[in-house]
Amino acid sequence: MFLQQLINGLTLGSVYALIALGYSMVYGILELINFAHGEIYMLGAYLGIIFLAFFTAVGLTAHNLPLALMLTFVLSIIFCSSYGFTIEKIAYKPLRNAPRLSPLISAIGVSIFLQNYVMLTQGATDKVFPAFFGVAGFQFMSVRMTYLQLFIILSSAVLTIALRLFVRKTRMGKAMRAVAQDKTMASLVGINIDTIISLTFIIGSGLAAVAGLMVAMYYGLVNYSIGYVAGIKAFTAAVLGGIGSIRGAMFGGLLLGLVESLGGSYISGEYKDAYAFVILIIILLVKPGGLFGKADLEKV
């Protein structure tokens, strides 16, 4: 029973981790909480359903399902990255030098707008994601893991490692780190701040699209409000691990998923959404910067 809940928690935590990465990246660059990020995740789930419906209509899923799924992921990432890029240019860039409360209000406004946009265009009822994977899987000891759970866990791990290598080893990644440390100095050495900020939103939105698609595949149902709850939990995961830290976002997401799964199984499923916030309060009381973050020092 414990090992089974462990697998379920890791699966859920892997999704939270991918969304939390977007929060951490944006905050690391702009010190902005992008509350519209959860809606990008929701859009990824809806786009997956739309693209798969199209591929089913043209017969691609019947003849080559892996190709149809791969194209669905690629197209969803492209579209969600475009949404993230557009949101940054329209809702955040004009407010870059405004008081800190202004972009926060703008982020909440974008979140509400996207929720209502999807509700009006796709309907308020739940949408069903095609059950291509079913319950096929394998069993070891008393634990059963489906192929879909294995796919979600491995995909999340690979994407996180790839992102960390990109940030640490590539030229653009080093530029992102420079902007996060000191925007003024980064601009003085020739780094285009606007390009780096746009790239951050594009990468974060692409990761959210993957998370949305995987959740739609896992649960089989999607509605316009899933982005709000998942976004709040992913933000909690980012703060838990240390916002601005890639490994912190990954660890925070996994810990959050495990707490929800084990708490819902051994305590009560009715309060599973509350367990995450209880853990967050405890950790922030002990270590305000999060598990892998650093507390800000006041400069005088």
The top-scoring range by mean pLDDT among 8-22, 74-88, 183-197 is: 74-88
Q: For residue 203, is pLDDT > 50?
A: yes
Interval 12-35 mean pLDDT: 87
pTM, two decimal places: 0.89
Structure tokens given for 9: 């928690």
Residue 294 is predicted with a pLDDT of 62
Is residue 144 classed as helix, strand or coil in its secondary structure?
A: strand
Mean pLDDT of the chain: 86
**Strand ranges (DSSP E) for 63-174?**
127-128, 137-140, 143-146
Q: What does each C-alpha distance from 273 to 158, 215, 268 come to in angstroms? A: 27, 17, 10
Mean pLDDT on 221-228: 88
Query: What is the DSSP secondary-structure string of 164-229?
Result: HHHHHHSHHHHHHHHHHH-HHHHHHTT--HHHHHHHHHHHHHHHHHHHHHHHHHHH-EE-TTHHHH
Size of the chain, expressed as the number of residues it contains: 300
Res 43: pLDDT? 94
The residue-averaged pLDDT of 67-81 equals 94
The gap between the terminal CA atoms of the chain, to the nearest Å, is: 54
pLDDT given at position 298:
42
Q: How large is the C-alpha radius of gyration of the chain?
A: 19
Tens digits of per-residue pLDDT, 149-173?
A: 889 999 999 999 999 999 999 999 9
Confidence (pLDDT) at 239: 84
Torsion sign, CA atoms 171, 93, 237, 158: negative
At residue 254, does pLDDT exceed 80? Answer: yes
Q: Note the pLDDT tens digit of each residue in 266-284.
A: 777 777 778 777 877 887 7
Neighbour-count burial for 118-136, b at 16+ CB within 10 Å, e otherwise: beeeeeeeebebbeebeee
Q: How confident is the model at residue 293 (pLDDT cuts 50, 70, 90)?
A: low
Q: What is the mean pLDDT of residues 213-240?
A: 87
Confidence band (pLDDT; 50, 70, 90) for 5? confident
Burial class of residue 185 in the structure, from the number of CB atoms within 10 Å of its CB (0-12 exposed, 13-18 middle, 19+ buried): exposed
